[in-house]
A and B are shown apart, each in its own frame.
Chain A
Amino acid sequence: MFRFALTRIGMALPTLLIVAVSVFVLIRLIPGDPAQLMLGDLATPASLADLRARLGLDQSLPVQFGIWIGNVLSGDFGQSISSQQAVLPLILQRFWVSAQIVLVAVLLASCVAVPAGVIAAWKQDSALDLGLVATATLLLSIPTFWLGLLLLLFFGLKLEWLPVVGYVSIAENPWAGILYLVMPIMTLFLHEIGVILRMARASTLEVLRLDYITHARAKGLSERAVLWRHAFKNAFGPTWTLIGLVLGNLLGGIAVVETVFTIPGLGRLLVDAIFARDYPVIQGCMLFVAFTYVLVNLVIDLCYPVFDPRVTAQ
């Protein structure tokens, strides 16, 4: 088990390195002087010269990367051009907003979709199965930005139950904070139900065909015990991996939902930075989200032996 964990962590390190290289290269692909890009139009010759020296622009590219990654590791992601704030605190502050939406939505969706998928597989080809799969496929097909718009139209404008747009920190005003988060969370929740349900159903179907399920039935176990004690744990592995991917993808794609509900999250930060050509922020956001994605998947992987002890035995 220890060796398994060590190997998996070892495998994540080169990935992180290549991710960092990619982000570095991506920004360097933009034509022009990197120092000029990082400081924007308001740069003075003095500050330009200063930054050039700090980035090591007169040295070779690998050295420049070394300097940059050193800064990143010490938490220095540079300064935003438009707001003149340090990038990392800005990202962390926005990340918290996005993370609470994504985490709650995925958690709720998993709680609903996983059991529903298992039951659909158990009742394969019945009306219930058909209904669940059809609903899931439908939910999966509605893009989050339109789903959000529909919810907004219905709950916000027609029923006037929920505030239409905006965001209040839960820390400041818990009740209002929650009200503002209900619709964004519901949007992602509904969408991810479709994704997770289909996966849970498919992997359960795979498992239900296997001999050990028949063996469990042949012992005289009830269907409930067969399904939850024997099938569920073995079928959950692929779904668990998928949940990790969903978390990361949502973090990358949450900009649209944040746009619909005007929430100051990480996605919006990145998109605004792209509009403003605020390259330090673009670079910081990409690096941060990609790192988070790798780490989330690493944690997911490290938990995998719980569902399938065979993976540690390679």
Chain B
Amino acid sequence: MTKTAPLLDVANLTLTIGGSGRTVVNDVSFQVFPGEIVGIVGESGSGKTLAARAVMGFIPPAVRLEGGTIRFDGQDVMAMSPKDLRSMRGSKVGMVFQEPMTSLNPSMLIGRQLDEGLALHRKLDAAGRRTLILDMLKRVGLRDPEGALTAYPHQFSGGMRQRIMLASVMLLKPALLLADEPTTALDAVVQRDVMELMVELTQANNTAVLLISHDLGMVARYCSRIVVMCQGDVVEQGLSEDILARPQHPYTRKLLSAMPHRLPARLLPEAKTPIVSVRDLVVEYPGRQGFFHKEQAKRALHGISIDVQPGEVVAVVGGSGSGKTTLGQSIAGLVRPAGGEIRFNGKPIAKSDAAFWDYRLNCQMVFQDPYSSLDPRMTIGQLVGEPLRLVSDMSPADRKARVAEVLTEVGLDDGFAERYPHELSGGQRQRIAIARAIVRRPSFVIADEPVSALDVTVRAQVLELFDELQKKHGFSCLFISHDLGVVEQVADRVIVMQDGRIVEQGPRDDIFDNPKHPYTQKLLAAVPGLESTSEGGVRLFWRRAENDKQITG
């Protein structure tokens, strides 16, 4: 692919927002050669999605093309007639989206949706198209392709829909596939399967891929070249190995160092009684009450037992539907358990009001979505100060001082107390949520996916802050996450859950280096691991897998 002409040649592309004139894509140039996989990496606001969509001629009405050219196969996309543009779309350039729940038309049969593109671009009769479609659906791993033709998208899981989406696009064997965060919305275990399927299909048809993602690890794993974007600029581009091993631009280095990494294992002092201990916890969700029947109650947790030692960070990992969130909510008292017992400092909390209240004041929670976890009508000062209302022996002055102290601890100074949540960024909001959780100096904090809604570099900062506060105040923590990288960085001990049961638990290093249960192995195999190198770069490896090959640099 050295001296051939580029398939896609984006040169000096500049896009601005119509009204304000703000530049959202600034002088961006990159090329994609036939059959190659190129990744664009960046955080939200980097302009990566806009730049990629512009390749197909999709520029939102509010955005203006300021300058630059996009050439596909030598032709200027921006100068194409609508008719030429349409004949290029689908047949030569395909596109896969992030959200499988909204990328297929909910009211159209899958068969028709797949047929549409073929009928438009290929001169085939209905029977010929049907054969092609069935063949493709089989290739993407659908068990019943015939049945899928007359099914609606909502009858499939997210992963399956993404496979159908891939089938729909690859049916036409386009020369270029634009994949915008194609696996971000999927469960970790499914992510890798879908990625591998995408690579396999595109390689078989010599389709080039432009992969847009926030996930540097994944991009590095599959792409030969990487384009790093930040705030509308391309800050660096080059071969994957080079970028990983010898990042040149400070932002790239920041991105790389923001990737979660393992810290040395901590030695915690042995304690006699665990701070929180959960015994045989069972949670059931009542079945929906219909008019003619009552559905069976659904058991979300099947007798979970957990001990959390003082000062210990215990991570709970699992895919969606594993029950990890329900576990956190029931320990926090948000979901009433159907059976089992929770003991705090050795005392069962359900037995006496005093024990319950002691627990209530000492157990706090950090939620996933900082846009939903802060009451939009309260100021930061009110939000952080609210938990102190229930602390009886505190004067208003003390409360004010404590709020200021905690705000400083989370890295936000006094000026923030008067502001409202909507004036803050996602990372700042999550700092507020953490401040609110620790303002009463609790001894136990439940963190439910506290960083999964955050951008990579922000996530690193918030994790660092969390770690710092945990060490400083010594609270125990139940850290719920689907992200094994994050877990590897923060956890002392790891609990792996599947279908409402604990399948494996143990010290972090044991779980990560020597997993016993097949589900744990599968989870670990799904995400690439990283190791820092001396030159400020990283080395990427698959933790354990059939194909245990390493990308080094």
Closest to A222 in B: B86
Q: Check B121 against A308 for contact (C-beta < 8 Å).
A: no
Closest to B103 in A: A211
Q: DSSP majority for the B interface?
A: loop
- Note all chain A residues with C-beta closer than 8 A to B94: 218
- Note all chain B residues with C-beta closer than 8 A to A217: 58, 89
Question: What is the distance, in angstroms, from B251's C-beta to the closest C-beta of chain A?
Answer: 29
Q: Check B154 against A215 for contact (C-beta < 8 Å).
A: no
Q: Check B103 against A310 for contact (C-beta < 8 Å).
A: no
- Note all chain B residues with C-beta closer than 8 A to A182: none
- Note all chain A residues with C-beta closer than 8 A to B106: 212, 234, 308-310
Q: Which residues of B approach A to under 8 Å, CB–CB?
A: 53, 56, 58, 61, 86-91, 93-95, 97-99, 102-108, 116-117, 120-121, 152, 154-155, 165, 168, 290-292
- Note all chain B residues with C-beta closer than 8 A to A6: 292
Q: Check B90 against A218 for contact (C-beta < 8 Å).
A: yes
A222 CA to B290 CA, complexed, in Å: 44
- Note all chain A residues with C-beta closer than 8 A to B121: 220
**8 Å CB contacts to B: which residues of A122-137?**
124-125
Q: Check B116 against A219 for contact (C-beta < 8 Å).
A: yes
Q: Which of B89, B154, B155, B292 contacts A219 (CB 8 A)?
A: B89
- Note all chain B residues with C-beta closer than 8 A to A233: 107-108
Q: Check B152 against A7 for contact (C-beta < 8 Å).
A: no
Q: Mark A183-224, 1 if CB is under 8 A from B, else 0.
A: 000000000000000000000000000111011111111100
Q: Check B61 against A214 for contact (C-beta < 8 Å).
A: no
Q: Check B105 against A216 for contact (C-beta < 8 Å).
A: yes
Q: Check B120 against A211 for contact (C-beta < 8 Å).
A: no
A211 CA to B94 CA, complexed, in Å: 14
Q: Mark A1-21, 1 if CB is under 8 A from B, else 0.
A: 000001100110000000000
Given A219-B117, A220-B117, A309-B154, A234 contacting B107 (CB threshold 8 A): yes
A215 CA to B116 CA, complexed, in Å: 11
- Note all chain A residues with C-beta closer than 8 A to B104: 212, 215
**8 Å CB contacts to B: which residues of A284-314?**
307-310, 313
Closest to B88 in A: A220
A210 CA to B99 CA, complexed, in Å: 10
Q: Check B102 against A220 for contact (C-beta < 8 Å).
A: no
Closest to B85 in A: A220
Q: Which of B87, B95, B107, B292 contacts A218 (CB 8 A)?
A: B95
Q: Check A210 against B102 for contact (C-beta < 8 Å).
A: yes
Residue total for A at the interface (Cβ-Cβ under 8 A): 27
Closest to B100 in A: A211
A257 CA to B99 CA, complexed, in Å: 49
Q: Mark A95-128, 1 if CB is under 8 A from B, else 0.
A: 0000000000000000000000000000011000
Any chain B CB within 8 A of the CB of A277? no
Q: Check B61 against A125 for contact (C-beta < 8 Å).
A: yes
A154 CA to B352 CA, complexed, in Å: 80
Q: Check B155 against A313 for contact (C-beta < 8 Å).
A: yes
Q: Check A211 against B97 for contact (C-beta < 8 Å).
A: yes
A211 CA to B105 CA, complexed, in Å: 9
Question: What is the distance, in angstroms, from A58's C-beta to the closest C-beta of chain B?
Answer: 36
Indicate the member of A216, A218, A229, A234 with the most B CB atoms within 10 Å: A218
- Note all chain B residues with C-beta closer than 8 A to A310: 106, 152, 154
Closest to A218 in B: B95
- Note all chain B residues with C-beta closer than 8 A to A211: 97-99, 102-103
- Note all chain A residues with C-beta closer than 8 A to B91: 220
A240 CA to B318 CA, complexed, in Å: 42
Any chain B CB within 8 A of the CB of A94? no
A212 CA to B104 CA, complexed, in Å: 5
Given A210-B102, A309-B106, A221 contacting B120 (CB threshold 8 A): yes
Closest to A11 in B: B291
Q: Check A7 against B290 for contact (C-beta < 8 Å).
A: yes
| Extra A-B contacts (14), CB below 8 Å, given A220-B117, A221-B90 | A125-B61, A210-B102, A211-B98, A211-B99, A211-B102, A214-B58, A215-B105, A216-B105, A217-B58, A219-B90, A220-B86, A234-B105, A308-B106, A310-B154
Q: Check B89 against A214 for contact (C-beta < 8 Å).
A: no
- Note all chain A residues with C-beta closer than 8 A to B103: 211-212, 215
A313 CA to B155 CA, complexed, in Å: 8
- Note all chain B residues with C-beta closer than 8 A to A11: 291
A164 CA to B104 CA, complexed, in Å: 54
9 A-B pairs within 8 Å (CB atoms) are namely A212-B104, A215-B97, A215-B104, A215-B105, A217-B58, A219-B89, A219-B90, A309-B106, A313-B154
Closest to B106 in A: A310
Question: What is the distance, in angstroms, from B109's C-beta to the closest C-beta of chain A?
Answer: 9
Any chain B CB within 8 A of the CB of A230? yes
Q: Which of A10, A210, A212, A219 contacts B120 (CB 8 A)?
A: A219
- Note all chain A residues with C-beta closer than 8 A to B117: 219-220
Q: Check A7 against B105 for contact (C-beta < 8 Å).
A: no
Q: Check A215 against B95 for contact (C-beta < 8 Å).
A: yes
- Note all chain A residues with C-beta closer than 8 A to B61: 124-125
- Note all chain A residues with C-beta closer than 8 A to B165: 215
Given A6-B292, A7-B290, A10-B292, A218 contacting B56 (CB threshold 8 A): yes
Question: What is the distance, in angstroms, from A6's C-beta to the closest C-beta of chain B?
Answer: 7
